[in-house]
Amino acid sequence: MLVNGAEVSLEDSNGNKVKTIIAFLDREGYGAGRIAVEKNGKIIPKAKYETEPIDDSDRLEIVTFVGGG
């Protein structure tokens, strides 16, 4: 799977595949609060992160919002 333009494996160290956006975000250490996820060109609502499936052919763009001034 491509994430922000880089190839990333969905398999963890035990050979198990992550199957949803939220599982991937958790594994990679993203906090779901201040991010946006686009899957294959479509923005995925946060309410669907737990049920939205992902697989090796998907492309994710993950944007983290940073405050400042």
Cα distances (Å, whole numbers) of residue 69 to 5, 59, 66: 28, 31, 10
Q: Where do we find the tokens 């996820």?
A: 37
**pLDDT, block means (10 residues), the chain with 69 residues:** 96 91 94 89 96 97 81
Give the global pTM.
0.88
pLDDT at residue 20 in the model: 97
pLDDT on residue 64: 87
